[in-house]
């Protein structure tokens, strides 16, 4: 089984963001990066499926060359090879441009299964996975919390408003991963050393035209300080009153 | 591995001084500490217990003896990566770092450096895998700073050796499977690998500590303990044997101090920005800002010192007096930082809900063990003057 896990390097979620001088992007100073939370779940699932069914896991990202740290982390956990399509302006790509580039590389590499996070934690679009599937013409199940693979086919569970849906699909397929799918493992220090010897290909990313562009980036207004209305059961009426008449949410 | 609210201080932007794999090692251990250790530490510190259920996870991570070669089941990391591991573990608790330091630097290292190939093959993979836990017995009730004054003795007999004596303040003593016991054989200090189920060996726990509470500290009692000839570490003779191990462990402590101070700083900085006093954040007043500026500077200097020490070690140029300088400075720095920052937390700072007070208590042990602060002063003094002032 050939599995490709797509990951994105994103600013850490504890970032205290500052808007850069251009008014369109984040100030890069002091920003720390990590693999997008749901993409870690995609990597974990890829490795678990490989451990179960055999095969090979490739980790694919579009990003700056510094994304090698995040790719090597996935290699340290058990993926077999990494590919970085180097694009220093990766953050500016829109989902369709991203999906087109990924589709091109995935066609070249060949795969039975492509796993992605359900959403990137930086931009919250949740669209690259389904767009990629459409471009490839493959089956797609999103927000998956359970995945079983068989001979040329698979089933995937997802939580929908009405309850749990179970889908059957034929491989190759694109799956986007939801939180409860698995518990990502730690890289492990031996794995980190082993990852140094695994292949990591860096190739220039084909240019792509984004159809949407960020015009302006503004931080949310600062939250007003909270207020403690009292303590214990005696404070409940005052709290209800405040929620009803001040906050107007009851 | 995300959602970590801990914001480590990197004022001098030293991140790019570390290689990619060094940063990966650091971040892996950092996440593990945040996710697995932090939720448990308050309970165990209060109860005076170590969460042994985490030992398999620590082994799986690979933090036991991580610089030793792969052939013994270890990761073969460089010393800077090992330093960063200690920094991150001690960010969690000095007791956690102690647990790992003892296993790696004081138990696995002497077997690796002074042991026979059979001893290495027999013990190292199991110690790396956490299947065996070890302790290091050097200090005695009447021989601490002066370990050469030990009275524990070994006597050779037809089948091996017989050990008699008492050790004190031994980390992991009660929960160990093997003890590295230092004893005088014909008046020369030698190391022995003593299984803790040997007849005549006992390791009662030392209770009532108000420091390093999430770490087990024990007495070792050896009454006619018989071990085979294969228990002797063949390649350590004299005080240089145990001191060689301590140099390894102290190296890690120099980094650990940085981690403990970073933990306190992160907590106090965050707190001072949120805590409103006299209608504005505590951080907006000049006295707290001076404290923060002083401590951020101290931490940054200690980070540089640790980094330089690590690079020297990886180049094979580190001398024991370099380690003395770093252990002495960085632990004293951390202890001072913890005290100053504890004060900034006000009354909240005296509860275990906040971490700084716990670090402050722990660091008193770290200040004393592995060579007291003053003994390291004298080691540096001797390196500078060629005159030993501790005798
Ligand atoms: C929590 C904890 C865990 C420990 N774990 C271990 C362990 O795993 N294995 C182990 O072997 N030991 C361990 N120790 C013991 C530790 O290494 C010793 O406590 C330390 O070496 C100091 O010895 P001491 O307590 O006998 O103090 P002393 O040597 O009596 O020192 C008391 C004071 O005298 C000063 N002093 C001593 N000699 C001189 C001198 N010549 N000139 C000037 N000042 C001097 C010291 O600096 C100190 O201030 C541990 C200790 C603690 C607290």
Measured CA angle at B18 (ends B15, B23), to 5 deg: 80
The whole domain housing A16 covers 2-204
Which atom of ligand 1 approaches the CA of B371 most closely?
21
Could you give the CA distance from residue A65 to residue A111 in angstroms, rounded to a whole number?
Answer: 24
Residue A129, in any domain of the structure: yes
What pLDDT does B3 receive? 40
Q: What is the pLDDT confidence band of residue B129, given thresholds at 50, 70 and 90?
A: very high
Whether residue B46 is predicted with pLDDT greater than 70 in this model: the reply is: yes
Q: Is residue A213, in this structure, part of any structural domain at all?
A: no
Residues A11 and A126 in one domain: yes
Query: B99 CB under 6 A from ligand 1?
Result: no
CATH number of B240-385: 1.20.140.10
What is the dotted CATH code of the domain comprising B14-128? Answer: 1.10.540.10
Within a domain: residue A39? yes
**CATH code assigned at A196:** 3.40.50.620
A84 and A124 both lie in a single domain: yes
Is B217 near ligand 1, meaning CB less than 6 Å away?
yes
3-state secondary structure of B223: strand
pTM of the model: 0.91
Our answer to whether residue B118 is catalytic in this structure is: no
Do A248 and A157 fall into the same domain? no
Whether B150 has a pLDDT exceeding 70, the answer reads yes
Using the CB atoms, write b or e for B254-277: b if 16+ within 10 Å.
bbbbbbbbbbbbbbbbebbeebee
For A173, the 3-state DSSP assignment is strand
Domain ranges of chain B: 14-128, 134-231, 240-385
CA distance B301 to A65: 30
A175 assigned to some structural domain: yes
- pLDDT tens digits, B21-43: 999 999 999 999 999 999 999 99
Give the A-side interface with B, CB within 8 Å.
12-14, 30, 34-35, 37, 40, 68-69, 72-73, 76, 121, 184, 186-193, 195-196
Mean per-residue pLDDT, A161-179: 96
Whether residue A161 sits in one domain with residue A235: no
Question: Do residue A146 and residue A40 come from a single domain?
Answer: yes
Mean pLDDT for A1-27 is: 89
Per-residue model confidence as pLDDT tens digits over B65-86: 999 999 999 999 999 999 999 9
* CATH for the stretch B134-231: 2.40.110.10
C-beta atoms of A196 and B28 within 8 A: no
Q: Examine residue A244 and state whether it is found in any structural domain, yes or no.
A: yes
Strand pairing category for B160-171 and B153-157: antiparallel
Answer yes or no: are the C-beta atoms of B173 and B217 closer than 8 Å. yes
The residue that leads in pLDDT, A91 or B150, is: B150
- pLDDT tier at B118 (50, 70, 90 boundaries)? very high
ipTM metric: 0.88
Question: How does the average pLDDT of chain A come out, rounded?
Answer: 93
Shortest Cα distance, chain B CAs vs residue A10, angstroms: 11
Q: What is the pLDDT of residues B292-320, one digit of tens each?
A: 999 999 999 999 999 999 999 999 999 99
A187 and A247 both lie in a single domain: no
Q: How far is CA A15 from CA A12, A18, A145, A210, in A?
A: 6, 9, 28, 26
Q: At what angle do helices A68-77 and A37-53 cross, to 10 degrees?
A: 40
A214 lies in a domain? Answer: no
Q: Tell me which chain B residues have a C-beta less than 8 angstroms from the C-beta of A179.
A: none
Same domain, yes or no, for A184 and A240?
no
pLDDT of residue B4 exceeding 50? no
Beta-sheet pairing, A33-35 with A163-170: unpaired
Q: Does A160 lie in the same domain as A95?
A: yes
Residue A243 lies in a domain: yes
Give the span between the Cα atoms of A97 and A90, in whole angstroms. Answer: 10
| Rounded mean pLDDT, B273-283 | 96
Nearest Cα of chain A lies from the Cα of B254 at a distance, in angstroms, of: 21
Statement to judge: residues A232 and A184 lie in one domain: no
How many structural domains comprise chain A?
2
Chain A residues near residue B4 by CB distance under 8 angstroms? 12, 14
């Amino acid at each position: 089984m050939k599995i490709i896990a797509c990951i994105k390097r994103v600013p850490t979620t504890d970032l205290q963001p500052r808007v850069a001088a251009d008014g369109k992007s984040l100030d890069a100073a002091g920003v720390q990066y990590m693999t997008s939370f749901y993409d870690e779940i995609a990597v974990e699932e890829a490795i678990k499926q490989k451990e179960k069914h055999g095969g090979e896991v490739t980790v694919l990202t579009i990003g700056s060359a510094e994304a090698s740290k995040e790719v090597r982390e996935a290699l340290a956990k058990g993926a077999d090879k990494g590919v970085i399509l180097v694009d220093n302006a990766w953050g500016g790509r829109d989902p369709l441009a991203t999906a087109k580039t990924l589709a091109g590389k995935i066609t070249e590499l060949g795969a039975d299964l492509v796993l992605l996070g359900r959403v990137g934690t930086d931009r919250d679009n949740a669209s690259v996975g389904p767009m990629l599937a459409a471009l490839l013409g493959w089956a797609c199940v999103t927000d998956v919390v359970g995945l079983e693979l068989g001979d040329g086919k698979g089933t995937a569970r997802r939580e929908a408003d009405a309850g749990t849906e179970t889908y059957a699909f034929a491989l190759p397929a694109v799956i986007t991963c939801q939180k409860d799918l698995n518990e990502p493992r730690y890289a492990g220090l031996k794995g980190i050393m082993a990852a140094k010897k695994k292949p990591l290909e860096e190739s220039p990313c084909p240019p792509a035209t984004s159809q949407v562009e960020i015009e302006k980036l503004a931080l949310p207004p600062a939250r007003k300080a909270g207020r403690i209305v009292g303590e214990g059961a005696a404070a409940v009426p005052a709290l209800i009153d405040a929620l009803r008449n001040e906050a107007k949410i009851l | 591995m995300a959602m970590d609210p801990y914001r480590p201080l990197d004022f001098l932007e030293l991140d790019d001084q570390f290689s990619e794999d060094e940063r990966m090692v650091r971040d892996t251990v950092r996440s593990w500490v945040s996710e697995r250790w932090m939720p448990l530490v308050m309970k165990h510190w209060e109860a005076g217990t170590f969460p042994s259920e985490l030992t398999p996870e620590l082994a799986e991570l690979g933090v036991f003896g991580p610089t030793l070669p792969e052939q013994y089941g270890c990761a073969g990391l460089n010393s800077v990566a090992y330093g960063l591991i200690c920094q991150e573990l001690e960010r969690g608790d000095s007791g956690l770092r102690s647990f790992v330091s003892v296993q790696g630097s004081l138990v696995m290292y002497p077997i690796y450096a002074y042991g026979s190939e059979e001893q290495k093959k027999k013990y190292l993979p199991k110690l790396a895998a956490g299947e065996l836990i070890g302790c290091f017995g050097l200090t005695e009730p009447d021989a601490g700073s002066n370990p050469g004054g030990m009275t524990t003795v070994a006597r050779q007999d037809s089948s091996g050796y017989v050990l008699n004596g008492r050790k004190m303040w031994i980390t992991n003593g009660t929960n160990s499977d093997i003890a590295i016991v230092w004893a005088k054989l014909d008046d020369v200090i030698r190391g022995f690998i003593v299984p803790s189920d040997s007849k005549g060996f006992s390791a009662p726990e030392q209770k009532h500590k108000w420091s390093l509470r999430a770490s087990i500290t024990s007495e070792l009692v050896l009454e006619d303990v018989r071990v085979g000839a294969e228990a002797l570490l063949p390649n350590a003779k004299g005080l240089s044997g145990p001191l060689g191990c301590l140099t390894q462990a102290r190296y890690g402590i120099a980094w650990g101090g940085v981690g403990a101070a970073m933990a306190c700083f992160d907590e106090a900085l965050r707190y001072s920005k949120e805590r409103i006093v006299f209608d504005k954040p505590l951080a907006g007043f000049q006295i707290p800002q001076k404290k923060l500026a002083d401590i951020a500077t101290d931490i940054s200097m200690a980070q540089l010192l640790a980094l330089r020490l690590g690079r020297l070690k990886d180049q094979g140029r580190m001398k024991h007096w370099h380690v003395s300088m770093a252990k002495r400075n960085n632990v004293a720095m951390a202890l001072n930082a913890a005290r100053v920052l504890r004060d900034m937390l006000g009354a909240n700072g005296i509860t275990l809900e906040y971490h700084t007070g716990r670090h402050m208590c722990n660091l008193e042990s770290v200040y004393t063990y592995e060579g007291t602060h003053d003994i390291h002063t004298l080691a540096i003094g001797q390196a500078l003057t060629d005159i030993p002032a501790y005798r």
